[in-house]
Amino acid sequence: MSKKQNQKLITPEIMHQAIIGSFAKLNPRYMMKNPVMFVVEIGCIISLILSIVPGLFGDVSQDINLRLYNILVCIVLFITILFANFAESVAEGRGKAQAASLKKTQKDTKARVLLDDESETEVLSSQLKKGDIVLVKAGEVIPGDGEVIEGIASVDESAITGESAPVVRESGGDFCSVTGGTTVVSDWLKIQITSDPGNSFLDRMISLVEGASRKKTPNEIALNTLLVSLTIIFLIVIVTLYPIGLYSGVQLQTSTLIALCVCLIPTTIGGLLSAIGIAGMDRVTRFNVIAMSGKAVEACGDVDTMILDKTGTITFGNRLAADFLPVGGAERSELIRCAALTSVLDETPEGKSTLDLAKQMGDRSVLAEDAQFIEFTAQTRMSGVDLPDGTKIRKGASDSIEKYVLEQGGKIPSDLHEQVEKVSALGGTPLTVCENARILGVIYLKDTVKPGMAERFERLRAIGIKTIMCTGDNPLTAATIAKEAGVDGFIAECKPEDKIDVIKKEQAEGKIVAMTGDGTNDAPALAQANVGLAMNSGTTAAKEAANMVDLDSDPTKILEVVEIGKQLLITRGSLTTFSIANDIAKYFAIIPAMFMMAIPELSVLNIMHLTTPYSAILSALIFNAIIIPCLIPLAIKGVKYRPMSSGRMLARNMLIYGLGGVITPFVGIKIIDMIIYPVLHMLGF
């Protein structure tokens, strides 16, 4: 997990910027983008006017200082707006802090451009165009995004990923992509630039982080529409209360009506809605994943089906030695010794794992210094070692070893094919070992499932997500791996078009599909999927087709990203439930207070036993203001997510945030009433 995830919620710098932002966002043109809080601002302005001209709308009062009452309402409303703006500014501040660190990465460096005649010219990195070819040597910064067309080198990507370990980038394959702002630490690379100025990966990252504040997602727009509808309904209710009050013999003050309106409209979620959305993208970004839009993060929360490559995602990228199976009466120790000797100078992962397993089983064989290592070739399909005493030991594909032994005048053990088929049936790869003209046995190379994958897939299953494994293996091998990993289904001998077909099939059933990929052959499927997570180490085509990019290039990270998306949706739903539930308590605080004097029978609704009508109204208003900053940590960190069915999740959230949203204001308003009554009494209320 990246160190970026462990940053403090609010740093002094973020606090400073958030306070400035709270006042800067008071601009009505800005506030109009949040209709709920805009209504509060209008109420604040009207209260301010009434503080200067109390009788502007015909308000009269014999028992209280009406001007002072209007001032108090105005102050509380102003604080409410500031707290809502502060919540949004804190969320933006965390993103902008990250954008600032990314901007430091952008250096206008010199780039060594190679011309058609093989000559070199130096230009500024900002002048590079798509298609330019540059040469970058050890110690130099890569001037722009591109693909390696020649060379192999270690690249320090810590400026982007936060990870200190260099990664290897080379021409060809799926690890040829490089990012501008990273540093070559060894050798050299010839790179073809793939982005125009201002459109690099870093540029897009910065703009996404900085511009996340007001780009509303479809779900957010839908919720915003609901909040606006509720606000309009309550405004109509408030307007009708004035004539009802006159009919009952009560002249309701304009400030009281404003206070009631602010308390009844969903101000809590209205003040936190933007912060929740920004924080959702921020959590993904701090997890070292760049989302191309808030819509992509939100889509993660709705994922029904997840398509995963086998190699590198579910299993380790290389098959590892798991066992030694002797044949033809050979001793197991003899097989282990020969397998180890062939692997001493074998730098492949398979060779290293064979040597490690042999050592674990007690082999202590030492290879003579003048032994000659025989490299693996595509023609021979075997490798080995020639010892000084003339002994020749080989390991490789079974058919190649059989041919080699027959050429040496040896015989094929009767149980060799049985052991080879046994390994194949288990989903492994058999490597046959021989010493001179004698076959000793088989090395079982196992496609090893990553630790904890079965548990993670079970976790996904608990939240209703189906997992499908894609692999080029034969059906028998694929079934073995699928069973061990615990996935719900698999596609054997999978081709790129097969991935697209399964995505389209799932989408036709109304399901949201997520997938990972890093190669150019994955690009069509990444573009087709609702959530496409590309690896930063992958090709440019894959990154452009996807709507999310993993900077750490960890294919399993899609599992965590889906949970972050779920957390975003749950957080928004939970706080909406809490906000609307709040209104019930505020209703019981203000409505009785408004009519209690004229209609004593309504005192039965004063279940909190609030002291006076004015202390009740102001207590409800103050609670409405202070609950917003109290919920900022929850909005930014998100509601804790637990895998469970949607029914259980709904019941749980209704209990915690529904019932909690009703009880909390009852307690809070009563405590505030007890605190402010003595002060109000001194002021003549």
The set of catalytic residues is 309
What radius of gyration do the chain's Cα atoms show? 34
Report which residue type is found at 192.
Q
How many Cβ atoms sit within 10 Å of the Cβ of residue 173? Answer: 12
How far, in Å, CA of 518 to CA of 167, rounded? 15
Of residues 590, 622, 598, the one with CA closest to residue 250: 598
Q: Tell me which amino acid residue 497 is.
A: E
SS3 content of the chain, % helix, strand, coil (to 5): 55, 15, 30
- Rounded to whole angstroms, the Cα distance separating 627 from 75 reads 16
3-state secondary structure of 240: helix
Under DSSP, is residue 377 helix (H, G, I), strand (E, B) or coil?
Answer: coil
Q: Torsions phi, psi of 646, nearest 5?
A: -60, -35
Q: Which among 341, 356, 449 has a CA at the least distance from the CA of 395?
A: 341
Identify the residue whose tokens are 């809490």: 578
| DSSP-assigned beta bridge partners for residue 438 | 411, 435
128 with 134: CB under 8 angstroms?
yes
CA distance 138 to 149: 17
Q: Where are the alpha helices (DSSP H) in 26-114?
A: 28-31, 35-52, 66-105
CA distances from 479 to 310, 556, 663 (A): 12, 20, 53
**Token pair listed for 463:** 């939240």
Nearest 10 degrees: Cα torsion 17, 19, 20, 21: 80
Helix ranges, 521-639 (H): 523-528, 540-545, 557-595, 613-637
Closest C-alpha to 165, from 147, 185, 151: 185
Contact between residue 442 and residue 431 where contact means Cβ atoms under 8 Å apart:
yes
**Neighbour tally for 73: CB within 10 Å:** 28
From 505, 515, 502, select the one nearest 303 (Cα to Cα): 515
Residue in the structure block whose two tokens are 């004063």: 606
CA-wise closest residue to 578 among 621, 515, 624, 622: 624
Q: For residues 309 and 553, is the Cβ–Cβ distance under 8 A?
A: no
The residue type at 616: A
Q: Cα(168)–Cα(186) distance, rounded to whole angstroms?
A: 10
Instruction: Give the CA count within 13 Å in the CB-facing half-sphere of 69.
Output: 27
Q: Which residue type occupies 276?
A: I
How far is the C-alpha of 181 from the C-alpha of 188, rounded, in Å? 16
8 Å CB contact between 163 and 2: yes
- How far, CA to CA in Å, does 20 sit from each of 208, 275, 564, 630? 22, 16, 30, 19
Residues in the chain: 685
Compute the distance between CA of residue 441 and CA of residue 434 in angstroms, rounded to an integer: 7
b/e map of 589-603 (b: 16 or more CB within 10 Å)? bbbbbbbbeeeeebe
